[in-house]
Amino acid sequence: MSARIALFRAVNVGGGNRVAMTALKALFDDLGLGPATTLQAAGSVVFHGEGEAGDLETRLEAEAAARLGLASAVFVRGAEEWSQIIAANPFDEVARDAPSRLMVTPLKAAADPAGPAALEAAGRDGERVAAVGRCAYLYYPGGAGTSKLTPRLIEQKLGSPGTARNWNTTLKLMQMLETQARLSRR
């Protein structure tokens, strides 16, 4: 089985969609997708599973809703695709100098080509946006919390739902994928 990442959208944010990571991990184990490991409380899970990413997303969304009462979109990526997301980052300087202000946003579908420019036009204070395939990269020099580039606007302009993780988390998830892959080879 291959190591993968499942990213749940809007989990444990702003008092909504609350779930304990132990319960989320148990869900994966119960579904035969273990061993699963969670990162932080934002719904990032490294797990093992075969099949199409879209099928896994649909299954995880349904099971999380039924078993945990969690209404959340799920984004599944494999180790190779996650590595490509990291390699495609168009903001190398930001990743080096301000990694907590660089958001990597996996999307359900490829971004609308006009979306990044429309978001930059709506942004302020040097906010920058780029998209590569099914991933967007957003740089918030003043922080994401006060930005006009809200999740709703991002989804509207890019034409696809997504979920964001900062650059530090993105790299940590890659390390976790690599660790899971090593452990499964033993």
Domain assignments of the chain as residue spans, ordered by start: 3-82+170-185, 84-166
∠ CA 88-159-98, nearest 5°, is 40
pLDDT of residue 183 exceeding 70, the answer is no
Output phi, psi for 35, to 5 deg. -70, 140
H helix or E strand, kind and range, residue 3: strand 3-8
pLDDT of residue 130 exceeding 80, the answer is yes
64, 27 in Cβ contact below 8 A?
Answer: yes
**Closest-CA residue to 21 (of 45, 2, 3):** 45
pLDDT of residue 84 exceeding 90, the answer is yes
54-64: per-residue pLDDT in tens? 999 999 999 99
Q: What is the pLDDT of residue 157?
A: 96
Please state which CATH number belongs to domain 3-82+170-185.
3.30.70.1280
To the nearest whole number, what is the mean pLDDT of the chain? 90
Tokens of 182: 């090593």
Q: What is the pLDDT of residue 50?
A: 85
- Please state, for a pLDDT cut of 90, what percent of the chain lies above it: 69
Q: Residue 91, exposed/middle/buried by CB under 10 A (0-12, 13-18, 19+)?
A: buried
26-55: per-residue pLDDT in tens? 999 999 998 899 888 778 999 988 889 999
Paired with 130 in beta bridges are: 137
H helix or E strand, kind and range, residue 128: strand 128-132
Q: What is the pLDDT of residue 16?
A: 65
Q: What is the pLDDT of residue 19?
A: 77
Q: What is the pLDDT of residue 40?
A: 82
pLDDT of residue 169 exceeding 90, the answer is yes
**Closest-CA residue to 28 (of 12, 13, 10, 43):** 43
22-33: per-residue pLDDT in tens? 888 999 999 999
Q: pTM of the full predicted structure? A: 0.92
